Amino acid sequence: VLVDNGRRRAVAQGFGEAFSCISCGACLNHCPVYAVIGDKYGVTTHIGGIGLLQASFTSGLDLTAGQGLSLCLNCRACVDPCPVRIDTPGMHARLREHLPAGQRLPGLARVVLALARRVPLMRAAGWALYGAERLGLRRMVQSKLPPRLQEMAPLLPPMPAPREMARPPAVIEPIGPHKHTVAFFSGCVMSTWLAPVNWATLRVLARSGCRIRVPRRQGCCGALHHHMGAGGAARKLARRVINAFSRLDDCEAIVTNSAGCGAAMKEYAELLHDDPRYADRAAAFSARVRDASEFLVVHGLAQAGPVRARAVYFDPCHLGIAQGITKEPRWLLSHVPGLKVVEAQRREACCGSAGIFNLVHPEVSGRLADLLVEDLMAAAPELIVTSNPGCLLQVRWGLARSGADRPPEVIHLMELLDHATGAAR
């Protein structure tokens, strides 16, 4: 290399990998954002996520911050096709830490991150929203919002009753013979605004012979914060989660029903690698994390009763790509009598949720939702099934945008299995 052009600074700051790119373009062929906006994703000759990383050092972070540095979905679709295996999404998350929060995120996104850090506050907000819905205030307020916010309103789910948002018992005994003991990660959104999914998961695990421990003070996993460049907050939340599960040596696994949380927690070893107090603990913790589908396929699902419907399952990026879990959900669905499972044409199609990407880039996110919904609806399903909270809400938004007269129901895999295993009893 005859001209340094920012390379030594990139290497010194841990971003030298970005200049290993051989410019083959394989990453662009698999990038959902590039598929939607093309060469607008990048600056001049530096195109796509890898181009923005390089331009951040050759041309300056001030330029790339205003030209799409926040556009990477962190879906990881670009990593496997790359001949050099460059971790472009990981570098984007780290590079965003160098930007002030106000430059990184709009106000609404910052509010959501603040709520996620404080689960009791998120629960209280859920109670307030539930009360507003009961009084008809949500619809009234929604009609007064600016058009863009009105369009995004379906992303906010109907709030469960306050009793459903209550914390589960610290120990839940198995229904039937005791076969396994597991710990359950309850999360932030999943324990509050989408609490019915958590309760469904706990029932499925209990019917499958699990004694379940639900430790207190676990909180948010930090995935949303890490993806959006709030690395300090993500590491603080990761330490809290590790501490919460530290005394559960009798548990065979730490089970989660959120693909994004599972992917983040399996990467705690990398997130905390330079923390002398937590590096080893993080590695031990990550080795025990299992997605609920991953655990049930290995250790057994309770007998399922019939669910007579036509369903399409789509893979969350942070389950299928980041964790390599694609067969397990389909295996579980195949053991539900009466359920006809069909495949969409594109099995690896990002929905555009990506944590809170839909709040940061609603236009790009909405277009990705439209494309996915079009693909899913072509399979003529009665049920759309997935395994991640963000994907669940994003597809519901996409269906609302499509104006479908009789849209299919969108449910979490654990909700379907709860119905099936409950029907068999």
Tens-level pLDDT at each residue, the chain (425 residues): 557 888 899 999 999 999 999 999 999 999 999 999 998 998 877 899 999 999 999 988 888 888 888 899 999 999 999 999 999 999 999 999 988 777 778 888 899 999 999 999 999 999 999 999 999 998 888 888 888 888 888 899 999 999 999 999 999 999 999 999 999 999 999 999 999 999 999 999 999 999 999 999 999 999 999 999 899 999 999 999 999 999 898 999 999 999 999 999 999 999 999 999 999 999 999 999 999 999 999 999 999 999 999 999 999 999 999 999 999 999 999 999 999 999 998 766 799 999 899 999 999 999 999 999 999 999 999 999 999 999 999 999 999 999 888 999 999 999 999 999 998 77
What is the CATH code for 7-99?
1.10.1060.10
C-beta atoms surrounding 397 within 10 Å: 27
Rounded to whole angstroms, the Cα distance separating 190 from 422 reads 21
Give the whole-angstrom CA distance, residue 372 versus residue 348: 10
User: Which of 378, 415, 372, 374 has the alpha carbon at shortest distance from 394?
Assistant: 372
DSSP state of 105: S
E strands along 132-248, which residues?
A: 171-172, 180-184, 210-213
- Domain span(s) for CATH 3.40.50 in the chain: 304-423
* pLDDT of res. 2: 59
Compute the residue count for the chain. Answer: 425
We find that the CATH architecture of domain 304-423 is 3-Layer(aba) Sandwich (3.40)
Among 236, 221, 356, which Cα is nearest to 289's? 221
Residues 6+ apart with CB under 8 A from 344: 312, 314, 375, 376, 378, 379
Cα 187 to Cα 184: distance, rounded to the nearest angstrom: 9
Which helix (H) or strand (E) segment holds residue 120: the answer is: helix 119-134
Calpha distance 387→236 (Å, rounded): 26
Where are the CATH 1.10.1060.10 domain residues in the chain? 7-99
- Nearest-Å Rg of the Cα atoms of the chain is 21
Q: How many helices (H) does the chain have, and how many strands (E)?
A: 24, 11
384 forms beta bridges with 312, 410
Please check whether residue 213 is in contact with residue 182, taking contact to mean a CB–CB distance below 8 angstroms.
yes
Q: What is the identity of the amino acid at 358?
A: N
